Structure formats: structure tokens, C-alpha cells
Structure 1
Amino acid sequence: MSSASGVMLTRHEATPSGPGSLGSFYTLVTLLLGMKPGEHEYKVMGLAPYAPARETERAVAALGKVFTMTEGKPSRFEWRRRGPLYRALLEATLGLRFDGIAGGAQQILEEALVRWARVARQRYGGERLALGGGVFMNVKANMLIADETWLGDLFVFPSCGDESNAVGAAYLGYLDLCAESGGKAAPKPFGPAYLGPDIQESEIEAVIKGRNLASRYRVSEHTAIEEKIAELLVSDGVVARCAGRMEFGARALGNRSILANPSDHRVVDLINRMIKSRDFWMPFAPTVLREREGDYLLNPKSFASPYMMLAFPTNAKRRDEIVAAIHPQDGTARAHILDEAWNPGYYRVIREFERRTGIGAVLNTSFNLHGEPLVCSPEDAVDTFERSGLPHLALGHWLVSKK
């Protein structure tokens, strides 16, 4: 926990990494459920809403015998049991349903993080929160923190690995340079996350020619590619888009994305068969135009969500328009709220789709094969397109479609 004054941060409390951290607890639960620790925690979060309330309560009670949360200084997560922690969890949860364990772990995580947010405010003041790290990739917990009545603004950093240190180093370097030169430091907020490599038309043309795509697929160039993508979303439902600079962080935000019509529930199974192979309980997510967020999302404080790091309850009256991009069990959406200035090309795609359908949102999921990284280059995009069942690839201003 740290507090900020101007450009200065003061750290007040910290929990050492390792077994005593809340993240380690959630990772052990991931392993307990037969999933890959350090990678599949998001699956536990996605599974949790399916647990019946009674099963969740049983799991919370059982897990509470293994550890507790304290509000001392620092506030911390403490194991009640000594010895191998995985064995302690295994013994405590024997006989419990797998979805109940997920629900219990998620509830414990949510309650702990909300408590810590309240403790931070009580001890150090303030009505604005900045969150970062792997635990805060849990968008459901972030949603509950955002719902705190005292909270006026919320920022969740879009990446949780070591690569995020580079951003902090850049800010720190800037402050050091200002101090050395005697200039007044005026750092800008972290903005659009399109910080990766750009795509040049010459690269696209080289890949199309080098891989002889025109002999196997329909290849065409479009000056208004955004309109063409929108047409295909209406008629065929699914288009992969690779354009502009790649996203920094854990989410695809339109430039390395698979897009689909969010009102057609059938595209969920279609995308999973084509490329994603997701577990049945895992939902997809929407990109919603900023001007239309009130139609689809319950966001009374109008919090920004430019990095897809918050979940929102959805408007039941318009839920059918984004049915393929919400969690089918609890009706929440891990929404990317898009401002035109942050990505004009992607914004035009959704506007053109809206003009044809009246829907101001699209389903947006990362452009990658299951278990592989997000595509980066035109070569990556074509390779993934060819190894998947995707019907269309919008590559810059070019469209490649399977015959």
C-alpha cells in the first residue's frame, strides 16, 4: 500500500511475495482444481459464478480453517496451518464440488481486496485508487472495488508481468531528468496501450506475395476496410483484425483481435471451434463505444475501462444485443470501453457495424491460437489464420478470405 502526493509515492505496507501472499493462495487453488498455476487463474474466476451459493459457502468455511486475513500493519494473509500448503488446501477441500471451490476462492479474494481497499483509505486517505499486479487481473474483484461508495476514480494497470517495470522505469527516469535539469515534472497519465510494433503496407504486401496467398484465398485491397469488416461481421459473424500498433499488456484491444457479432450467441461455439478451444464456462468480452456504454453497462460512476481490466453488470433490457460477449451465468461483461481518439480505425469498424445493426459494440477476443501468444507481425497473423478455421483476415487495408 502506498500513497501519492504530487509525483511522489510513499510506501506504507507490503506483503512479501511467496506463500504469504493472496496471489499465491489463488494460484494454489488453481493447481488444486487441476489447472496450470501461474496461467489459468482466470479460469477459476470464470468458473466461480457457476457455483451454487451453498457450495460456495461450504468452500469458504473449509478454506477459512486453513488461513485468515488480518488487518494489522501490514494487513496480510496468514496461513493457520503449518507444513505443505497445497496439502493443507487439499485436505480442507476433500469432498467439495470443484465449482464450489472456485466460488469460495473467488469470494475470499474479493472480500480480502475490498477490505484492503477500505483499510488503505481509512489509514492513508484519498478517494482515488491505482491497482497493479497479477491479483488485479481479476476483473470481478476490481468490479467490487469500483462499487465502493467512497471511490471516485480507479486505474488498473493493463499488464502484470515484469514488462510493466519498464513503464515505471520510464516515469522514474523522466522525474530524474526533470530533477537534474531543474524543470518542473509534469508526467502524463498512462494513455493508449498501443505501444508495440506497427505494421507497414510493404510488410503486408511482402507476406501476401511471399506466401502466394492469392493462389489459395480471395485477396483484395480496400480503402475503406472498416466498412468491409462491418459487412462481414453482419453476414459471416467472425473476422480477425491485425492493423496498426500492437497492444501492450494482457488484453487484445482491437488491433490484434478476433471480432464477432455480439448479438449472435452461436458465434461463441463457432469461435471456439475455429481457433480458441476455450473451456465451456469461459466467456468472451465486448468492446463498447464510449457513447453507448450506458445502453449496455451499469457504470454509474462512468469509470474508464480502456484496457479491459474491469467487469460490469449489464443492462438486462439490452443484454440480448451483446449476449455472446457476456458471462452467461451472472450477466457481467469484461468490457473494453472505446474512445474514438484512442483507436480511430477500430472505432470506425464498430461505428460501421452500429450503422448496419444498431448495436454499438462488438465481441472482441485475442487473435491467437489456444496456448499461443497474441499475433504481432503480418507473418504471425497469416500463420495463425492458415492454422485455424477463421474465415476472414483483415490485414491492414487488405482482406484475405478463405474460398
Structure 2
Amino acid sequence: MKILGLTGGLHSAGLAYLENGVPIFAFEEERFNRIKAYKDFYAMKFRMPWECGQHVWYHKNYDWLKLDYITSHYDADVAEKIWRGIGLGPFPSEKYIKINHHLGHCALAYYCSGFEEDTFVVSIDASGEKYSCRMYLGKDGNMDEINNIPLTHKSLGHYYSMLTEFLGFKRLKDEGKIVGLSSHGGYRKEVYDCFNKCITINGLKTDKDKGKKYLGGIYEDFYRLWFEEFGSKFTQFDEDIAYNGQLVFEEKVLELFNNLHEKYPNIKKIALAGGIFANVKLNKRINELDWVDEVFVAPPMGDEGLPLGSALAVHKLKNPDFKPFRLNDIFLGTSYIDVVHDKEKFNCRPYSPTQLAFDLKEGKVVGWFQDRYEHGPRALCNRSIIADPSVPGTYKKVNDRLQRNDNMPFAPVVLDTHASSVFNVKKSKYTAEFMTMLYDTHLEWHNKIPAVVHPVDKTARIQIVTPNSNGKFYDLLRKFHAVTQIPVLLNTSFNVHGEPIVCHPKEAFVHLDNEIVDILVINDKVYTKK
């Protein structure tokens, strides 16, 4: 059975293709057109996945005419608009199946979780059709809805948008900066109260949105509370605002989950998707609940994951016996074999993991470009910049080169055999393969790998790498460990600030030419600038 999922819009456009329940490819438009998706939101541009449609040749057996089903979270008329926006002919409406926005998120989370036990499956974001949250009970491969939060009630996703914008940042772009900034602040009761009073949890719902504008209640209530407390006084404690805003956010979501647990006390697995679960500090708090055995967060947790999630939902609809499975990896993008380089600009040598391990030990910053790119927002060592996290000054050097000013440290990628000895990893190791979980770092490692440990709270957004998830990178990391006695490398996305993660080798060579990276590894070749 061949199913195509598609989406377009103001902040996400892409395609995903499923064959017999197996993800074959999942493309995001920003990777090809080099325009960050959030920019469409501010330009009010409905983006079509046109470039994605031009790259379906990557799968040699793909045929537009042989699709069994086409799906999206949009109504059929919008899906037809997207279809035609790709440059295709008449829309085969008889093959179209609409999947609800949050069901698409939840299908992705549940069916990729591999959970055999009963599972809470939850999607929360700013809004999706008529809801900001839907909750399902996953049991024996089926999902039954058990709760939702309609848009007549306040949205937790809009709460975080409000916090982001209040601190002078942009929604859909800078939420991660708020997460990082929050760990630099501290508790202030008067600030905490403003956030705490602007949204309330009542059982499995938030309080009613009584705003004068659609979805505006949480903004109106917070700003009223803030100005009642502080007036127009100039404040210089952004870190404390971020800290208390994040703290209240975590507490409200945890209250929802604990209330859910009271109603269904025997369920101990959680599968999550939707934009708010890009927040790794929140995910850490959920994972640390004493009644939770394991959490899985969909790797493309935002709307970029909806084409694949919708396709999985349709596959389940047509194949009732379909059950959750585990992903080996999320490398669902394009790859490039025949790489041509400018011989007047760049030297080339064969790849040797041992030699590269010594290069890293000497402080070199390496661009790592391998096989197919990752689906979702995280660079998982196929389109990554890597470095030795123990070398003094590495954090500042890489940050400066990438024109990055985030408060978040870079992410550590760690050998599976050493994850628990470096970080406090007691559960949810599978989701950590996709860098969707935050953990505390053991004390003895704080000063050994400073570039990947938060300077204040000593947490790390880790990626566990296994021989099955990424064999080539695993081998490099083993060699690096043998050379340095450090089973960890710094990993950050292969892009300068404000650009999408690199897709094509030509973009990687620009980074080498501009000295963003010292060494570039593409497939089995190593390039340096002359």
C-alpha cells in the first residue's frame, strides 16, 4: 500500500511517503529552497512543497500515478491546492483521506514508539483545527480519544508563544532560546504569579478563553496581570522572566498529566507530539514523574511531522492489525553520491576514522555530511557539525563561527555503552536516540565536557548513538573515545544561524570555504581548504 502525506502553509511544507507501513521518505521544503519555514508566517505566505515534489525521483520506484491514498490534515480543497502547487495535474480526489491535525501528530508518536503496553498518546500545540490538545489511549495498536482541549479554552502552545514574544523574540523561531535562557534565571514570586494566574488547569482542561480577540485570552490576561504588578516600569531581569514563565509552563503541563494518571492509574508509557514537545526541559520533567516508565517524543514533533503522521494514520485505517514499531533512524531525506569539488580550492583525502579522531582531538571543527538527511529539527549526525567538547574555548569558537547567540549549550552525542555513566539516564533511552530528551550530567563529567553541558543547571540534550542507528558515526565515536577517553562529541546542526540545515554538498562546501568548519567529511572523502 502506497500512501503520500502532504502539507503546505504558513510555517511548514513537505511530503512524506509510506509503503506498506514503512516510511520511505519525508521531505521538508525549507531544506531545498533554503528559506526557513517561520519566515512564511511573518510574510503571510502559504508555501507549497514544490521543491519536495521535484525530489521524489530519489525513490526510484515512486510513481505519482500509482499512489493508493493521498492524505493531509487539510480539507480536500486545500489539499488539491497543494497538489496543484507542486505542479501536478488533476487531483485524484477519490484517493484522498483527511486526517485530523492532532490525530496526525498522535499517530506519528504512537506508531513510531514501539510501545506494546497501554500508552497515553498526547498532542499539544498552539492550535490545530478546533483544538490545542487531544489525548488518546493507545491500546493493542488502536487509539481511542479520551480528552481534548478545544480552542474555546486557553492554549498551552499560545502560552509559550506569549512568553517568547514578551521577551522580545519571535514565535515559531526562538522558543528554544527561551528554554536555554530560563536556566540562567531564578524564582521571583511576583513574576511567577503573573504567569501562574493567566492560565489554570481544571481537571483535563485549561480555563475558558474569554479574550475579546480569537485565541487572545491568555495574552490579554497575562498583560493585564503584568501591568497591574509592574506598571510600565523598565525591567532588567529577562532571565528571571524566562525562568518563571518556563516553570509555570512545566507545572501546568505536569498537572494535566498527573490528572490523566489519576483517571488511568495503570498506564505508565507516554507518546508525545506537537510543537510544545520540542521543549526538552518540559520533556525532562515529564520523564521524571515517578509513575512514568518511558516517554517517546516524535522526532519531527512539530507540523513538519504531519505528512508522515497522517500517512501512518491512513495506513492504520486500512490495515487494522498495524501495531507500533521502532525506528532504526529518521534519515528520510535525500542523499548525494557523486560529489564534485573545486580542486583549486580544496584538498581531498580518503576518510579514516582514526585520523579524523586525532583531528578532532587537536581542536578541529568538522562538518559531517553523510547519506540521507534527518527528518525533523534535530541534526542527528548525518548533517552535523562536530567537535571535541573537552577542548577549552570550543563552545565560544563554534558559537562565533555559526553567528549564534543562544543560551543553550551544544548537544552531546554519546556512545550507547557510556550514556548512563556520563549522564543520569535511567529511562527513555530510545527517544534519546533522537535528541528529544534532557538529562542531568554526572558531577565528575561537568568539567570534562563543558561545551555540551549547560553552565548553570548542568543538563544536556543528549543523542545516544548505537551501531544500528548510525554505524559509521558510531565507529568514529569509538575511535575518538579510544584516543581521548571521552565517549562524547559535540554535535550541532550543520548551518549558520538563520539558515536551514544543509541539504546539498554545495552548501556544505560553502561552510568549508567560509571557514565555518576546518574539515568537511562527505561520504568517504575528507576535504580541507587549500
Shared fold (TM-score, shorter chain, > 0.5): yes
Residue 7 (structure 1) aligns with: 141
Aligned equivalents of 1:320 and 1:170: distance in 2? 45
Is 1:104 matched with 2:279? Answer: no
Offset at residue 108 of structure 1 (A): 0.8
Residues 118-127 or 348-357, more deviating? 118-127
Question: What one-letter code is carried by the residue in structure 2 that aligns with 1:60?
Answer: Y
Secondary structure at the aligned position of 1:34 is classed as coil
Offset at residue 24 of structure 1 (A): 0.5
Residue 255 (structure 2) aligns with: 115
Is 1:362 matched with 2:489? Answer: yes
Question: What one-letter code is carried by the residue in structure 2 that aligns with 1:120?
Answer: L
Residue 26 (structure 1) aligns with: 160
Measured at CA, do residues 379 and 318 of structure 1 come closer, stay the same or move farther in structure 2, by a change above 3 Å? same
Offset at residue 272 of structure 1 (A): 1.6
Q: Note the alpha carbon deviations across 1:330-356, whole angstroms, 9 max, x for none.
A: 100000111111100111111111010
Report if aligned partners of 1:392, 1:401 keep a CA contact under 8 Å in 2: yes
Question: What one-letter code is carried by the residue in structure 1 that aligns with 2:360?
Answer: L
Is 1:141 matched with 2:141? Answer: no
Offset at residue 217 of structure 1 (A): 2.5
Residues 185-194 or 5-14, more deviating? 185-194
Report if aligned partners of 1:293, 1:337 keep a CA contact under 8 Å in 2: yes
Question: What one-letter code is carried by the residue in structure 2 that aligns with 1:112?
Answer: K
Offset at residue 75 of structure 1 (A): 1.7
Offset at residue 174 of structure 1 (A): 2.8
Offset at residue 303 of structure 1 (A): 3.1
Aligned equivalents of 2:287 and 2:254: distance in 1? 9
Residue 329 (structure 2) aligns with: 192
Aligned equivalents of 1:71 and 1:299: distance in 2? 33
2:433 is aligned, of 306, 315, 338, to: 306
Measured at CA, do residues 90 and 173 of structure 1 come closer, stay the same or move farther in structure 2, by a change above 3 Å? closer
Question: What one-letter code is carried by the residue in structure 2 that aligns with 1:296?
Answer: V
Secondary structure at the aligned position of 2:508 is classed as helix
Q: Note the alpha carbon deviations across 1:235-283, whole angstroms, 9 max, x for none.
A: 1331110011111111000110000101124111101222x22225231
Equivalent residues in 2 for 1:38-53 (5 A)?
Answer: 38-53=172-187
Aligned equivalents of 1:266 and 1:382: distance in 2? 24
Residue 16 (structure 1) aligns with: 150
Report if aligned partners of 1:286, 1:333 keep a CA contact under 8 Å in 2: yes
Aligned equivalents of 2:468 and 2:207: distance in 1? 42
2:200 is aligned, of 57, 69, 76, to: 69
Residue 159 (structure 1) aligns with: 300
Measured at CA, do residues 251 and 294 of structure 1 come closer, stay the same or move farther in structure 2, by a change above 3 Å? same
Question: What one-letter code is carried by the residue in structure 1 that aligns with 2:300?
Answer: S
Q: Note the alpha carbon deviations across 1:294-348, whole angstroms, 9 max, x for none.
A: 2211122363311111100110112222211011111000001111111001111
Residue 383 (structure 1) aligns with: 510
Report if aligned partners of 1:273, 1:389 keep a CA contact under 8 Å in 2: no
Measured at CA, do residues 117 and 240 of structure 1 come closer, stay the same or move farther in structure 2, by a change above 3 Å? same
Residues 101-110 or 316-325, more deviating? 316-325
Secondary structure at the aligned position of 1:272 is classed as helix
Report if aligned partners of 2:422, 2:445 keep a CA contact under 8 Å in 1: yes
What fraction of aligned residue pairs are identical, expressed as a percent?
Answer: 28
Offset at residue 393 of structure 1 (A): 0.8
Aligned equivalents of 1:102 and 1:41: distance in 2? 10
Q: Which stretches in structure 1 are left out of the alignment for 5+ residues?
A: none
Measured at CA, do residues 172 and 37 of structure 1 come closer, stay the same or move farther in structure 2, by a change above 3 Å? closer
Report if aligned partners of 2:363, 2:394 keep a CA contact under 8 Å in 1: no
Aligned equivalents of 1:167 and 1:284: distance in 2? 28
Residue 443 (structure 2) aligns with: 316
Secondary structure at the aligned position of 1:195 is classed as coil
1:286 is aligned, of 408, 412, 437, to: 412
Report if aligned partners of 2:154, 2:199 keep a CA contact under 8 Å in 1: no
Aligned equivalents of 1:341 and 1:13: distance in 2? 37
Measured at CA, do residues 77 and 254 of structure 1 come closer, stay the same or move farther in structure 2, by a change above 3 Å? farther
Report if aligned partners of 1:237, 1:267 keep a CA contact under 8 Å in 2: no
Aligned equivalents of 2:466 and 2:247: distance in 1? 32
Residues 373-382 or 328-337, more deviating? 373-382
2:523 is aligned, of 396, 400, 403, to: 396
Is 1:261 matched with 2:395? Answer: no
Report if aligned partners of 1:246, 1:376 keep a CA contact under 8 Å in 2: yes
Q: Note the alpha carbon deviations across 1:49-99, whole angstroms, 9 max, x for none.
A: 11133x3x331112234x132223x42255587666545534533445211
Question: What one-letter code is carried by the residue in structure 2 that aligns with 1:367?
Answer: F
Q: Which stretches in structure 2 are left out of the alignment for 5+ residues?
A: 1-134
Secondary structure at the aligned position of 2:489 is classed as strand
Aligned equivalents of 1:260 and 1:138: distance in 2? 24
Measured at CA, do residues 64 and 358 of structure 1 come closer, stay the same or move farther in structure 2, by a change above 3 Å? same
Aligned equivalents of 2:447 and 2:495: distance in 1? 27
Richer in helix (by share): 1
Report if aligned partners of 1:283, 1:325 keep a CA contact under 8 Å in 2: yes
Residue 215 (structure 1) aligns with: 344
Report if aligned partners of 1:171, 1:187 keep a CA contact under 8 Å in 2: no
State the TM-score, normalizing by the size of structure 2.
Answer: 0.69
Question: What one-letter code is carried by the residue in structure 2 that aligns with 1:294?
Answer: S
Aligned equivalents of 2:153 and 2:350: distance in 1? 54
Measured at CA, do residues 60 and 358 of structure 1 come closer, stay the same or move farther in structure 2, by a change above 3 Å? same
Question: What one-letter code is carried by the residue in structure 2 that aligns with 1:243?
Answer: Q
